[in-house]
Amino acid sequence: MNDEQPVVKGHMVVTNDVITYIGEAEPPQHLLEQNVEHINGAKQAFMPGLVNTHGHTPMTLLRGFSDDQNLQVWLSEKMWPMEAKYTAEDTKNGAALAQVEMLLSGTTTFVDMYDRMELVAEITEYSGMRGMLTRGVIGLCSEEEQKQKLQNAISFARDWNGKADGRISTMLAPHAPYTCPPAYIEQFVQAARDYNLPLHTHMSESIAEVEQNVKDYGARPVEHLDRLGFFSCPTLLAHAVHLTDEEIALLAARDVAISHNPISNLKLASGVARLPQLLKAGMRVSLGTDGPASNNNLDLFEEIRFAALLHKGVSYDPTVIPASEALKLGTIYGARSLWKDEQIGSLEAGKKADFIALNIDQAHFYPMTDIVSHLVYSASGKDVLHVWIDGKQLVRNRECLLLDEEKIKFEAEASFKRMISQ
């Protein structure tokens, strides 16, 4: 992710959970102590693990259950009735399936927003993944229930922040301005300040949502949230498809992070976010898959490719989002959107050893003209051979070493069967 030298043909040393050397020259001898495991990386490309900055992992169970529908039909007639049937077991099964899929496609860090987040956290603790987790809260309910949900969200965030050797961190997440009344959002802002937690929410995903916000609150979502003090806390916004120049300027001034979800935005016909403008404004911008019911997979290499291709076509400018920028969106910019770029997102001495190895000895990587181009325009998650997080190998030759893939697939299938038979 270093512009001067994007590709190094050489050596990398990992000591415990940290990269201690990377370079063309032989590594210093003192780093190579007894019991060193040597990995031959010939015909493989090593790169930072991908960072997926928005998703709802338990929704893997609804992958392919309803496609090609209008958003309101999809949500109210398909997603919500099914989600109401989720037991704790189903939530766990969906989340575990998602983690298998993410690991096998090279994602090492993910953001997750859903209810019963402690179940996702338990799987994350076990799976070895790095997760920024948050209980998503819909506030269209009684004040009593609101209060209980907020308490639950705060408890989760405080209990799990920094757990699993620091692999798990947490946020607070009112679901969206259109599903949480203003007074309730203010309570989240207060809690975020009190407990020093970032905020995460969906915003300006569709035109209808923006128009409804103006009707309900006399302001578009950006101004509305800004008035509620939202952006005074570190904030990660999902989608932000429909933004004016002024809104981009305001969000940039507030140093707000945005998770761009190109595939989900296309599939739900929400539109095309103004990614080139967001980057030009110097914002923290990154990529998310969104839930697997609106994508329908969790391969972040696809988001990288869509980001590189889509914005060229719709802007009629083939120079926007060049390959190097697209690759950064899925790695170091992802880390930056989660305020973790000191820790992860690139292969540098001192950073956490979160990295993946791709098999580049395949026809679609030949000739070896430009590895960055190939990773963006030709690679997919299925080229990932190995995955390490915190220096620990979690995938070897496309086999999950900790998660039991066979059992997880079986149980996910059983969960779905049970839900549709009800």
When the beta carbons of 147 and 364 are compared against a copy of itself, the nearer one is 364
Which parts of 298-337 interact with a copy of itself (CB under 8 A)? 298-299, 302, 305-306, 308-310, 312-319, 321-323
Using CB under 8 A as the binding rule, whether residue 378 contacts a copy of itself is answered as yes
When the beta carbons of 250 and 266 are compared against a copy of itself, the nearer one is 266
When the beta carbons of 201 and 289 are compared against a copy of itself, the nearer one is 289
Which parts of 93-122 interact with a copy of itself (CB under 8 A)? 97, 100-101, 104-105
Using CB under 8 A as the binding rule, whether residue 297 contacts a copy of itself is answered as yes
**Minimum CB distance to a copy of itself, residue 372 (Å):** 8
When the beta carbons of 180 and 326 are compared against a copy of itself, the nearer one is 326
Contact track, a copy of itself, 389-408, x by CB under 8 A: ----------------x--x
Q: Tell me which H or E stretch contains 27.
A: none
Using CB under 8 A as the binding rule, whether residue 67 contacts a copy of itself is answered as yes
Mark the segment that binds a copy of itself (CB under 8 A) among 214-222, 227-235, 343-351, 358-366. 358-366
Reading the block at residue 44, the tokens are 């493989």
Q: Distances in Å between the alpha carbon of 342 and those of 19, 79, 274, 300?
A: 13, 38, 27, 21
Distant-in-sequence contacts of 307-315, Cβ < 8 A, 24+ apart: 307/260, 307/262, 307/275, 308/376, 308/377, 309/377, 310/262, 310/266, 310/272, 311/272, 311/275, 311/276, 314/272, 315/276
Number of residues that bind a copy of itself (CB under 8 A): 73
By residue count, the chain amounts to 422
Pairing of strands 130-137, 168-170: parallel
Mark the segment that binds a copy of itself (CB under 8 A) among 221-229, 246-254, 275-283, 367-375. 367-375
CB 140 within 8 A of CB 119: no
CB 47 within 8 A of CB 384: no
Which parts of 179-238 interact with a copy of itself (CB under 8 A)? 207
Using CB under 8 A as the binding rule, whether residue 272 contacts a copy of itself is answered as yes
When the beta carbons of 209 and 383 are compared against a copy of itself, the nearer one is 383
CB 289 within 8 A of CB 264: yes
DSSP states along 46-72: EEEPEEE----GGGGGGTTTS-S--HH
Start-to-end Cα distance in the chain: 49
When the beta carbons of 1 and 22 are compared against a copy of itself, the nearer one is 1
Adjacent-strand bridge partners of 46: 357
When the beta carbons of 114 and 365 are compared against a copy of itself, the nearer one is 365
